A and B are shown apart, each in its own frame.
Chain A
Amino acid sequence: MSHATGHAHEHHFEPDPALFAEPNVRAGGAARGLSLALIIAGLALGGFVYLQSAGADKPAMRVAMLSYHTGFLASIAFFIGALGFVMILHQTAAGWSAVIRRQFENLMSLAPVGALLFLPTLVLCYTKPGLLWKWMDPAHVAGDVIFQKKQAFLNLPFFTVRALAFFAVWAGFAFALRSLSLRQDADGDRWKTRTMRKISAPGLLLFALATAFAGFDWGMALDFHFFSTMWGVYFFAQSMLATLALGTLTLIVLRSAGRLEGLVRDEHFHDLGKLLFGFTIFWAYISFSQYFLIWYANIPEETSFMMARREHGWLSLSSALVVGKFVIPFLALLPRPNRRSMAVLPLVCVWILGMHLLDLFWVVQPELTKGPDAPGPSLTPVVIAGILSPLCVMLGAFLWRIASVPLVPLQDPRLPQSLTHRNSI
């Protein structure tokens, strides 16, 4: 009954050192090989997109650029969500999470990879202004009254500074927190846990600002007439859901590869399942509220966004998103046994990751097809390669991180609490 009375004995509980033996907390060489393969595949796909569109006309270049941007937003969501999640865990002193935290630390540390992936986009903003964000094209916005009101915010120098600031916040806090956690592996200094908690308080504040404004800049401003004050939260909801799905899937794969035996148990997956369930509802709540207010207010600048996603064949994709990203995961995660099931949970994670891609496709791609005679959604080889290229690089870098460090924090003071953690019925 040691589990049942875990709370009473928590201070005497000593984890079995055998749990932390090398093979149980190391990913092994296969991860590195897969990592390199993914990064090479991502670069090759990026090269393919570049070769296909470099000499092409402007619409074709825009297709390639928007596709790459879709993949870029889908892949930065992982480290953004992970950083928010880890800082919330530190702030709430979440004892249960000690054994699952390392994989989210690995995810959040990919912010510099995101910055590298943003570099081609930023260069193109200067060399081909207006290709991705139409407000950057002086000819396009000439005489546009709405743009003139927004010009103090929407200008290329400030846009660049903001992008740098976002990556500085994400990468800075992720590096500080992860390196403290890794140093604690070696020295077992309990006070580092307190330091991480202290860092997370201002971290969450700056993280919220950076994430919301990145959403405004990179997603919402694709249509610079459009505005939605909920967009920042919407981007955060997308990111948290994507992170939780990828992190949970990673832990399940590691478990099925014979790692983390006795460390990450059904109880932890149950909690991750609850969080996936919660953020599925949160995403639905935020996206419905956003749509609802736009629908009710009926202001042309706002409705243009939703109209573009109801016409030219986009309505079926919009509906698919409601069913696929809300109804199906909601029903799948509703019964308690499913949230603990090692058969259902990975399927739901893969499904949510697929829906995450569809969601960002739905956000970015219709910007291409606006107008009275615009074509509907289309998946050409360039579009697919453009979306997958940054994703492959990001996932490859994630695998490299997994292979480089122990799979759990080795000397976290909350390990006893996490190892004896149990959900009640």
Chain B
Amino acid sequence: MSAATDATKPAGPARVWGVMGEFAGPTELLHGCLAVREAGWRKWDAYSPFPVHGLELAMGLKPSRVSMIVLLGAMCGAGGGFALQYWTSAVAYPMVVQGKPFGAWEPFTPVTFELGVLLASFGAILGMLTLNVLPRWHHPLFKKERFLKVSDDRFMVALEARDRNWSLEGATRLLKQAGATNIDVVEE
């Protein structure tokens, strides 16, 4: 149904992605987030030009699951690193070095540790990107000129239409009650 598939026809009414509203400062944003959270919303986000302390509490965010991915990466790295060294120097190609035992764990430890750290960092970066659904080419909010102000001096909250509480009137009313200004509908 998009314009790209049939350029001759005028595009139909675009689907609503959600609504966004502005807040004047971090304190107002925190209060706004508390209101949205208490209304039981799940598919929504807050946007700020700098980290706001306590925002994750106000939004009711759960601790990130990235740490589990990091742990998994660390175990794969350390386990794989140790296995690789043990196999090469004690099984596949045993060679006497300084008269030390073939399978001595001592010289394997630094590499085991380093590989554990390396794969843990990969897990942290890739896990963060995956859980954030990044990278992506576009986001509906970028269509809004005013939204660019969140990288300057504005604080915003956007409620998404895929939330089970969604109705255009209800979402707009909630943002208004939460103290938002310049409330605007965002299309996909």
Flag B158-177 by CB within 8 Å of A: 1 or 0 each.
00000000000000000000
- By the criterion CB–CB under 8 Å, are B106 and A1 in contact? no
A-B contact pairs, 23 of them (CB 8 A): A1-B27, A1-B30, A1-B54, A3-B54, A4-B52, A4-B53, A4-B54, A4-B55, A4-B57, A4-B58, A5-B27, A6-B53, A7-B53, A8-B27, A288-B109, A295-B106, A296-B107, A336-B63, A422-B54, A425-B57, A425-B61, A425-B63, A425-B64
- Tell me the nearest residue of chain B to A297, going by C-beta: B98
Q: 0/1 per residue, B15-41, Cβ < 8 Å to A? A: 000000000001100110010000000
Residues of A within 8 A of B63 (CB): 336, 425
Given A425-B63, A425-B64, answer yes or no on A1-B98 (Cβ-Cβ < 8 Å): no
A424 at the interface (CB under 8 A from B): yes
A296→B99 CA distance, assembly (Å): 10
| Count of CB-CB pairs between chains A and B under 8 Å | 45
Q: With A and B bound together, what is the CA distance between A7 and B51 in angstroms?
A: 12
Whether B56 and A424, one on each chain, are in contact in the complex, defined by CB atoms closer than 8 angstroms, is yes
In the complex, A336 Cα to B58 Cα: how many Å? 20
A425 to B65, CA, bound (A): 11
Q: Mark A302-314, 1 if CB is under 8 A from B, else 0.
A: 0000000000000
- The 8 A-B residue pairs whose C-beta atoms are closest, nearest first, are A4-B54, A425-B56, A295-B106, A1-B30, A425-B63, A4-B53, A292-B106, A5-B27
Q: Is A179 an interface residue (CB 8 A)?
A: no
B58/A1 in contact, CB under 8 A: yes
Whole-angstrom CA separation of A1 from B37 in the bound complex: 14
Specify which chain A residues have a CB less than 8 angstroms from the CB of B71 in the assembled complex: 334
Q: B53 contacts A422, CB within 8 Å?
A: yes
Interface pair A5/B107, CB less than 8 Å apart: no
Q: Which residues of B contact A1 (CB under 8 A)?
A: 27, 30-31, 34, 54, 58
The distance from the CB of B85 to the nearest CB of chain A, in whole angstroms, is 15
Cα A292 to Cα B110 with chains together (Å): 10
Report the interface size for chain B: residues with CB under 8 A from the other chain.
22
B168–chain A nearest beta-carbon distance, Å: 29
Q: Does A298 contact B (CB under 8 A)?
A: yes
Q: Which residues of B contact A3 (CB under 8 A)?
A: 54
Scoring B34, B54, B71, B106 by chain A CB atoms within 10 A of each residue's CB, the highest score goes to: B54
Interchain CB contact under 8 A, A4 and B107: no
Complex Cα distance, B98 from A3, in Å, reads 59
How many positions in chain A have a CB within 8 Å of any CB in the partner chain?
Answer: 18
Max count, chain B CB within 10 A of own CB: residue among A7, A288, A292, A425: A425
Per the 8 Å Cβ criterion, residues 276-307 of A in contact with B are 288, 291-292, 295-296, 298
Bound together, the chains give a CA A47 to CA B105 distance in angstroms of 46
- The verdict on B67 contacting chain A, using a C-beta distance below 8 Å, is yes
Query: In the complex, which residues of chain B have a beta carbon less than 8 angstroms from the beta carbon of A7?
Result: 53
Least CB separation from A337: chain B residue: B63
Q: How far is the CA of A425 from the CA of B60 in the complex (A)?
A: 11
Residues of A within 8 A of B107 (CB): 296
Give chain B residues whose Cβ lies under 8 Å from the Cβ of A295: 106
Bitwise, A159-176 to B at CB < 8 A (1) or not (0) is 000000000000000000
Q: Which residue of B lies closest to A6 (CB)?
A: B53
* B106–A5 CB distance below 8 A: no
With contacts A336-B63, A425-B61 taken as known, whether A5 is within 8 angstroms of B109 at the C-beta atoms is: no
- State whether A424 touches B53 (Cβ < 8 A): yes
B67 near A5 with CB under 8 A, answer: no
Q: How far is the CA of A6 from the CA of B57 in the complex (A)?
A: 14
Who on chain A is nearest to B63 by CB?
A: A425
Instruction: Give A424 to B31 CA distance when docked, in angstroms.
Output: 18
Closest B residue to A4 by CB, please name it.
Answer: B54
A282 to chain B, nearest CB (A): 14
> By the criterion CB–CB under 8 Å, are A298 and B98 in contact?
yes
With both beta carbons as reference points, the residue of chain A lying nearest to B106 in the complex is identified as A295
A336 touches B56 (CB 8 A): no
Q: Which residues of A contact B61 (CB under 8 A)?
A: 425
Decide if B26 touches A5 in the complex (CB within 8 Å). yes
Output the nearest chain A residue to B54 by Cβ-Cβ distance: A4
Taken residue by residue from 28 to 61, chain A's Cβ proximity to chain B (1 for < 8 Å, 0 otherwise) reads as: 0000000000000000000000000000000000
**A288-B109, A298-B98, A422-B53 known; A8-B26 Cβ under 8 A:** yes
Q: Hey, which chain A residues are within 8 Å of B57, CB to CB?
A: 4, 425
For B56, the chain A residues whose CB sits under 8 A away are 424-425
Contact code string B97-135 (vs A, CB < 8 Å = 1, else 0): 010000000110110000000000000000000000000
Cβ-defined contact, B54 with A5, below 8 A: yes
B-contact 0/1 string along A1-30, CB 8 Å cutoff: 101111110000000000000000000000
A336 to B70, CA, bound (A): 14
Q: Contact string, A340-356, partner B, CB cutoff 8 A, digits 1/0? A: 00000000000000000
Specify which chain A residues have a CB less than 8 angstroms from the CB of B64 in the assembled complex.
425
